[in-house]
């Protein structure tokens, strides 16, 4: 990416500037989201890339490194899985929802089922394709932007939405910054998940 002229932000390297960079454009990169899963041989790990221009996500890609499933999105042009358009699932109330989680909540929130899969990039991408109904980080500020930003753009282009649990901007380009993402296929479920997360 640097050789191609792109600045890079990743967990491993921090911010690296390409020669001649004007600082307006950067690729947020997670070479291996779900590294524990990968070390255990579990097929839920991914590479995630998000090209950000003037602090706005523009292009995203998340690829499952085991199955090869590739999610992509271009701002205002929709989202795809393996080259085919995807949309979030139909609105689902919490009592019928399957929710992906990072960490464990202190109590049952009333969902139908939950999964703790261990790779936020793929968890949020699964909401985008109509798999999970939502995703909640039940911990506090444990995700760097490289963990979720590509999938958030994919989700938004598929008709879903994501927020930080504390109301902060999810597009944060400082290496040390962390966020607490919540994502859902629709506003009503997002509000319910946020309320449950805040209890």
CA–CA distances in Å: residue 25 to residues 7, 73, 140, 188: 7, 17, 28, 34
Asked if 111 contacts 103 with a C-beta cutoff of 8 angstroms, the reply is: no
Domains and CATH numbers, the chain: 7-198 (3.40.190.80)
Asked if 132 contacts 115 with a C-beta cutoff of 8 angstroms, the reply is: yes
This model's pTM is above 0.95: yes
Q: How far apart are CA 133 and CA 74, in angstroms?
A: 22
Each residue's pLDDT, cut to its tens digit, for the chain (199 residues) gives: 999 999 999 999 999 999 999 999 999 999 999 999 999 999 999 999 999 999 999 999 999 999 999 999 999 999 999 999 999 999 999 999 999 999 999 899 999 999 999 999 999 999 999 999 999 999 999 999 999 999 999 999 999 999 999 999 999 999 999 999 999 999 999 999 999 998 8
Q: How far apart are CA 163 and CA 18, in angstroms?
A: 30
Residue 193: its pLDDT value, please? 97
Residue 199: its pLDDT value, please? 84
- Strands lying side by side in the sheet with 134-137: 113-115, 98-102, 134-137, 181-184, 161-164
pLDDT tens digits for range 116-165: 999 999 999 999 999 999 999 999 999 999 999 999 999 999 999 999 99
What are 176's two structure tokens?
């040390």
Residue 149: its pLDDT value, please? 98
| Ordered alpha helix ranges (H), 112-173 | 120-128, 145-157
């Amino acid at each position: 990416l640097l050789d191609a002229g792109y600045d890079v932000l990743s967990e491993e390297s921090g911010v690296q500037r390409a020669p001649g960079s004007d600082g307006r454009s950067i690729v947020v990169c997670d070479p291996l989201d779900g590294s524990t899963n990968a070390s255990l041989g579990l097929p839920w790990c991914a590479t995630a890339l998000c090209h950000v221009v003037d602090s706005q996500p523009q292009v995203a890609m998340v690829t499952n490194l085991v199955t090869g499933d590739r999610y992509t999105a271009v701002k205002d042009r929709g989202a795809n899985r393996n080259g085919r358009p995807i949309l979030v699932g139909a609105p689902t109330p919490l009592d019928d929802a399957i929710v992906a989680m990072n960490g464990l909540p202190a109590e049952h929130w009333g969902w139908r089922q939950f999964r703790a899969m261990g790779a936020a990039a793929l968890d949020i991408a699964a909401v985008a394709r109509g798999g999970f109904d939502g995703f909640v980080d039940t911990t506090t500020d444990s995700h760097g932007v490289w963990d979720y930003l590509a999938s958030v753009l994919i989700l938004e282009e598929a008709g879903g939405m994501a927020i930080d649990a504390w109301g902060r901007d999810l597009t944060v380009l400082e290496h040390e910054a962390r966020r607490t993402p919540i994502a859902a296929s629709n506003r009503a479920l997002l509000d319910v998940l946020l309320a449950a997360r805040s209890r």
